[in-house]
Amino acid sequence: MTSVANAVVPGQRLGHVQEYSAGPGTYSHQDFLYASVVGIKKIIEAQGELPTLTVQRENSQSAMPEIDAIVTCKVVRVNPRFAAVNIMVVGETPCKDDFQGIIRVQDVRATEKDKVKIYNSFRPGDIVRAQVISLGDARSYYLSTASNELGVIFGTSVAGGSLVPISWQEMQCTKTKAIELRKCAKPM
């Protein structure tokens, strides 16, 4: 029950800016720090710096993609210029509603960008791990898979079997042993 004693609500004054630095769940306004979410107040001591004040949310807000975040998404549509995806998980937290994203052809891999063919990299239904590179346009976030760990992590072959990566750009069907082309993520 000690945690309840430290429970705070938005707008509650937590301390002076000279004593603490503002962490997640807090904001500073006119020399004071205030809580901005409902949750438990925590003070993280740091060597040589001001201790950081944070408020740990009680009800976590549904996840939102941020720049540089690693997201897990599902390919819904492909065309020669980009693959359209639905972002389902940001980091470790699932989103309540899917956010739309696109992986443009130039963002699929880091090298030989001009030789990339979207349909040799992604197919609809694939589950892809990607990184958010910008907030994008009014509709979609822009994602990139230009890194070894990023790319298709799960897919189904034409025959319906699941695909296993056999190289960084090939995957094999477990049923028919047919090889299909994908931009694979390095297994972790």
Partner 1 sequence: MATDRKRVAGPESSVAPLVEYPIDHQPWTPFTEKRHDSHRQPEDLRPIYLKTGLISEANGSAYIELEKTKLTCGVYGPRPVKRAGQGFSDRGTLNCEIKFATFSCVKRRGTMRDAQEKELSQILSQGLTPAVRLELFPKSNVDIYITVLESDGWGSCIAAAFTVASVALAHAGIEMLDLVAGCSASYIPTSIPSTSSSTTSEAPSEGATGSITPQIFMDADLEEEKFQQGSIVLAYMPSLNQTTHVLQSGKAEGAIISQSVEHCVEACNKIFAVMNHALLESIDQKTV
Question: Which of 44, 50, 135, 158 contacts partner 1 by CB under 8 A?
Answer: 135
**What x-and-dash track marks residues 94-133 binding partner 1 by CB under 8 A?**
-xxxxxx---------------------------------
- Nearest by Cα to 85 from 52, 131, 39: 131
Piece of the chain touching partner 1 by CB under 8 A; list 7-15, 45-53, 107-115, 168-176: 7-15
Residue 42 CA to residue 55 CA, distance in Å, equals: 6
Q: CA 50 to CA 58: how far, in whole Å? A: 25
Instruction: Give min distance, CB of 53 to partner 1, in A.
Output: 15
Which region among 24-32, 105-113, 117-125, 152-160 touches partner 1 (by CB under 8 A)? 24-32
Asked if 27 interacts with partner 1 (CB under 8 A), we say yes
69 lies in the binding site for partner 1 (CB under 8 A): no
At position 119, the amino acid (one-letter code) is Y
Single-letter residue type at 79: N
Between CA 26 and CA 105 the distance in angstroms is: 39
Q: Measuring CA to CA, how many Å separate 166 from each of 72, 153, 157?
A: 21, 12, 14
- Shortest reach from residue 104's CB to partner 1, in Å: 17
Which stretch of DSSP H or E encloses residue 5?
helix 2-5
Does the footprint of partner 1 cover residue 76 (CB under 8 A)? no
Query: Interface with partner 1 includes 138 (CB under 8 A)?
Result: yes
Query: Shortest gap between Cβ of 11 and partner 1 (angstroms)?
Result: 3
Q: Report how many residues bind partner 1 under the rule CB under 8 A.
A: 35
40 belongs to the binding site for partner 1 (CB under 8 A): yes
Q: Which of 148, 144, 146 is nearest to 131 (CA)?
A: 144
Residue type, 76: V
